[in-house]
Amino acid sequence: MSDNFVFSETDHEYMRRALALAERGLYTTLPNPAVGCVLVKNGKIIGEGWHHRAGEPHAEVMALRNAAERNLDVKGATAYVTLEPCSHYGRTPPCALGLVNAGIFRVVAAMKDPNPLVSGRGFKFLADAGVCVSWGLYENEARELNRAFLYSIVNGMPYVTIKYGMSLDARVALANGESKWITSEASRRDVQRLRARHQAILTSAATVVRDDPSLNVRWPELPEAVRELFSEDPGITPFRIIADPDNAITLKEKLFQCPGKVLIARTGAGDAVTEERISDSVSVVKVPAREDNPRHISFRHLWRYLDSINIRNVMIEAGRGLVSDVIRQNTANEIVVYMAPKIMGSDAVPAFGALGLSSMAEVPELVISDVAAVGSDIRITCRFKEGACLPE
């Protein structure tokens, strides 16, 4: 097999459709990737599908089922799929085998799967069975679609996003602590969308004690474009993680009354993360402390633990203390800022705490990847340059 492939205009058209289908699974597939598949025969789409939820059939199987429901013969068809078909048995049978058994003639994939269980093996299995295989069509778009999954697979830690709502002068609360509401209702709905795309939400005990948040995904508050993807509330429930080095959490807080699992992260002795289950939904994890500060947990250790339980991405919703600590420990990938056209003044609370920098060479550099208007606010997505959140 060669990596040098030529794709036609129709190949581009059908792969764009496959990518659009894959997007439908972004809220429910993790820890699996979001994948779309389109089956084409004689210039017509005869089946299409996407991976709906982890543990359920993959996109290729859904597309084959769709064709069968329409009584259409897939033998000799081309399958356009946004990720290399799997060749191993997991919770579902290998998709590569399903495509071969169905008589698929050609497979066009957007990209190879970096998962060691798959990488290249799916393509080889197909080629060995006589299927014409090519890949690399819209690879950048496919990578962007599953950047959290891909980052986690390659680096062994979740993709970490910091979320902030702030004023134009980067303030998150007045001097008296009042912060409701700096940003618009549209921004708050968009935050619900962000939460729904994350497997875990991390906050600090200080934030929980002060604000008593639920940190859940509230279906009625999701943007309409998201709710239209589902016939009913799919029950998206991210893990809630509370950094609680001072044992301030009482278990009576509001978020413990909401569905879903809660992890309370406290500092512990030794080099390993240990877990103590309090109930079916609540656990305390003891995380090694930072070497330079025994009161602060090592986020790198916490991220490794979360990866071990298949958490691919984490969103941080917390105050400047925890956020600045994560940045100081070089363990963040992205910051999403909702900036309101308001000025709160130097006596208001700044978004970031001290980072202990002594030269411009130490200043973390980010790249703006997206800017969008959300209601009356601006949403800015920035990604840390290479060097952030890399394994040691």
By annotation, the residues acting in catalysis are 60
Cα angle 234, 235, 237; round to 5: 135
Kindly give the pairing relationship between strand 349-350 and strand 200-204. unpaired
The answer to whether 93 and 120 are in contact (CB under 8 A) is no
What's at 126, amino acid-wise? L
Structure tokens at 207: 């934030």
Peptide bond into 220 cis (omega under 30): no
CA distance 131 to 37: 16
Q: Which two tokens stand for residue 151?
A: 């980052």
